[in-house]
Structure 1
Amino acid sequence: MSSSFQALFVDNTEPFSVAVKSLSQGDLPAGEVVIKVAYSSVNYKDGLASIPDGNIVKSYPFVPGIDLSGVVESSEDERFVKGQPVLVTGYGLGVSHFGGYSEYARVPADWVVPLPDGLSLKEAMIYGTAGFTAAMSIQALEDNGAAPDQGKVLVTGASGGVGGAAVAMLAGRGYQVVAGTGRTSESEYLKRLGAAEVISRSEIYDPEAKQRPLDKQLWQAAVDPVGGSQLAAILSKIAYRGSVAVSGLTGGTKVPATVLPFILRGVNLLGIDSVLCPADLRLKVWERMAGDLKPADLEALVDREVTLDELPQALADILKSNTRGRVLVKVS
C-alpha cells in the first residue's frame, strides 16, 4: 500500500471546502478489510454530503462516497484475501464512515460483498447504490406477485439513477415499462433503456387537479424513488393486488393518501431500504444483478465518467438535476 494516497475531503472549517487531499493509512477509520478502490459513483446523497447544510455528514473532515468497488489490499478476516475483487454499498459508508472517494478504504468485513461472477469492478459501480436499490425494488415486487405477463409497470424519476436502472432491468426481464419523468426531453434515452412508453410527471400526478382516492387501474406495479404527493396518485392507479416499491423522497416525505387502495384493491406499499439490507438478501440481489437482471447494454446508464479532481462539479450537478442515469467515478 502506498504511504500516501489521494481522497476527496469535505471540511466544514470556514470556509466550507471540497477538495482532493493526500491521506495515509493511519488516517483511515477502523475496519478489518483494506480495499484499493477502483471505482465509485455519484449519488444524490453524495451531493448532499458535499454541501454545508446537506444533513448527511455527522463529523468533519470527511471522505464521502456511499459505494465503492476494488480489490482487497489486506484483510484480518479469513473470508477475504489479498487481490480479491469486492464491492461495498450501504451501511455507514460515506455517511458515518470514510467512503469511496479515496484510493484506499478500510471498512468492517461484514460490509464487504464479493464481486459476483458476471460483473466487472466498473459494472458494479455503474450500478452502485442506485442500481442496487432498483434491483431490490424489483425483487420486492416479484416477491409480491409482479410478473411480465401481468401488465404494465410504472417507473418514476426514470431519468435518474434508480429509475434508469429499474427501466433497463425490467425491460430486460420482459416487462412493459412506462417511464415517468419530469424531463420528457430524455425520451429517446429512456426508450434506448427499454421503456415501451414515456409519460410526463404531470400525467402521473397533477397538483392542480382533484385527486381521487381510487382512480383507473393503469399499472400492475410501480418502482417509485420519488415519493411525496405523487406516490398517493400512483397508489390510486395500481391494479388489484398490485404493489408499489418506494425508495426515495425527492418529491417530499408526506403522502396524502387514503386507506382505500389498500383495503379495497389489496395494494401493497413496499418500503425499500438498501442501507441496512441483510447480508443474505444483499448477496442474492447482487447475484441477480450479474445474472437475469443485468441489462444487455449496462453502459447505456452512464452519463459520464469523472476523476477525483472532477468530482466537485459532478456532485454539484446531481443536486441541480444536471445529470441523467449514472456518473461513474474512476478512483484509481
Structure 2
Amino acid sequence: MFKGILIEKDESGYRATLKEIDDTELPEGDVTVRVSHSTLNYKDGLAITGKGPVVRKFPMVPGIDLVGVVEESSHPEFTPGDQVLLNGWGVGENHWGGLAQKARLKGDWLLPLPAQFSPQQVMAIGTAGYTAMLCVLALERHGVKPQDGEILVTGAAGGVGSVALAVLSKLGYTAVAVTGRPEDAEYLKSLGAAEVLERALFSSPGKPLGKERWAGAVDVAGGHVLANVCATTKYRGVVTACGLAAGMDFPASVAPFILRGVTLAGIDSVMCPRADRRVAWQRLGTDLDIEKLQKISQVVGLSEALPLARKLMNGEIRGRVIVDVNQ
C-alpha cells in the first residue's frame, strides 16, 4: 500500500481525496518509481478542483511532475536504484501521476536526474521551470539577443514567470515583469525583473497595434493579455505562448504579424521530444541561479496539496510548490 491523492468521479460527484492505494491498482508501465517529490502546477489545480476538464480517465492520481528512484524496470535504459525525473507526457491526465508515493510509467517518458540538481531542486524547477527554459530557447532560436531590447514576462509571480525572470536576467536580458499582485514587486525584482508592471495594463481589450516596446515575451496568460503583448511587440520581435491563465481565446488581429513581422511561437512542454527536454534541463543547469530556487519555492506535504490547489486556482500562490509525498 502507498499514499496518494486520488480523483474519482461517479454518481456521488467529483472529488479528490488522500487515500491508501494498493500496489495492484497501479497502471501499466515498464518502470515502477518510488516517488520522493512532486509539484503543484496550474494543471494540477484544475484537476484537483475539477475547474477544468483536465482528467481524461477515472480514477486518476494527479501530478504532472515527479522525481524518485526506480524500484523495478524492464526498460533498457533504467535499472533499480536509478534516480529519474518526469515532466508531462499526459501523466495526471491520462495516466497516473506524481502526487503519490509510487508511480508506474513508460520508461520512454523518463529522464535521468540531472547531476546539477537534488531531487527537491529539480522539483522546484519542475514543468513550470522547464517550460520557461523552452520559452527562452525559442527566443534564442528566433534570434532575440539581450541587446535587442526588453523581454516581457506575464504571470511573473507564478512558476513559469519566476524561473523565466531568473534565467533571462542571468543571460543578460532586461526582463520586465507583469503581475496582478503588486505586493510581489520586491520578490520579482529579487529574481531579476528590471521593472514591474500591473496586469491591468494588458487585461482589457486593446488596439490592433500599440507603441512598439518588447523585443520578446514569455506569456502564460493568453486572452487579452497575449493580444496586447503582440500588439506592442517591436518589429520582428518574438512572443512565446505557453499558458492560458487569462483564457483560451486570442482576441487579436493579424496586424502585428503582417505589419511588424512579429513571430508568435507556441510552446508545448507535455509532448516535447526527449532530445529537446535534455537540452532544456542541461541549460537550466548552467543558466539558472540555484540559490534563487529557495526564493521561488516552498515545500509542503501530500495532505497540504489539496487545500493549496484551491489557493492556486484563486491566484494566491507565489512561485513553485514542491510536494514531499512522504511528509
TM over 0.5: yes
Name 2:96's counterpart in structure 1: 98
The one-letter amino acid of 1:200's match is E
Structure 1 residues 93 and 328 mapped into 2: Cα distance closer, same or farther (>3 Å)?
same
1:319 to 293, 297, 313: 313
**After the TM superposition, which residues 70-81 of structure 1 pair with which residues of structure 2 at under 5 Å, given as runs?**
70-81=68-79
2:267 is equivalent to residue 272 of structure 1:
yes
Q: How far off is 1:250 after superposition?
A: 1.6
**Cα deviation digits, residues 110-136 of structure 1 (max 9, x gap):** 100111121111111111111111111
* Paired residue secondary structure (2:271): coil
For the 8 Å contact 1:9–1:62, the answer to whether it is kept is yes
**Cα deviation digits, residues 19-44 of structure 1 (max 9, x gap):** 22112321110111111111111011
2:223 is equivalent to residue 258 of structure 1:
no
2:57 to 56, 59, 81: 59
The one-letter amino acid of 1:111's match is W
Structure 1 residues 232 and 53 mapped into 2: Cα distance closer, same or farther (>3 Å)?
closer
Tell me whether 48-57 or 224-233 shows the greater mean CA deviation: 48-57
5+ residue gaps in structure 2?
A: none
Name 2:6's counterpart in structure 1: 9
Name 2:182's counterpart in structure 1: 184
Give the percent of matched residue pairs that are identical in Structure 1 and Structure 2: 44
Measured in 2, the distance between the counterparts of 1:203 and 1:59 equals: 39
Measured in 2, the distance between the counterparts of 1:204 and 1:295 equals: 31
2:299 is equivalent to residue 305 of structure 1:
yes
Measured in 2, the distance between the counterparts of 1:69 and 1:227 equals: 30
Measured in 2, the distance between the counterparts of 1:7 and 1:284 equals: 31
**Cα deviation digits, residues 258-297 of structure 1 (max 9, x gap):** 2221122211000000011011111111111122244542
Normalized per residue, the structure richer in helix is: 2
Name 2:171's counterpart in structure 1: 173
Measured in 1, the distance between the counterparts of 2:101 and 2:203 equals: 43
Name 1:287's counterpart in structure 2: 282
Name 1:118's counterpart in structure 2: 116
2:310 is equivalent to residue 331 of structure 1:
no
Measured in 2, the distance between the counterparts of 1:167 and 1:91 equals: 25
For the 8 Å contact 1:169–1:295, the answer to whether it is kept is no
If the length of structure 1 is used for normalisation, what is the TM-score? Answer: 0.94
Measured in 2, the distance between the counterparts of 1:179 and 1:291 equals: 22
Structure 1 residues 256 and 17 mapped into 2: Cα distance closer, same or farther (>3 Å)?
closer
Name 2:195's counterpart in structure 1: 197
If the length of structure 2 is used for normalisation, what is the TM-score? Answer: 0.96
2:133 is equivalent to residue 135 of structure 1:
yes
Structure 1 residues 236 and 16 mapped into 2: Cα distance closer, same or farther (>3 Å)?
closer
Name 1:36's counterpart in structure 2: 34
1:220 to 212, 215, 220: 215
The one-letter amino acid of 2:273's match is P
Name 2:158's counterpart in structure 1: 160
Measured in 2, the distance between the counterparts of 1:234 and 1:39 equals: 35
Tell me whether 197-206 or 281-290 shows the greater mean CA deviation: 197-206
Measured in 2, the distance between the counterparts of 1:212 and 1:201 equals: 16
Measured in 2, the distance between the counterparts of 1:20 and 1:254 equals: 34
Measured in 2, the distance between the counterparts of 1:152 and 1:53 equals: 35
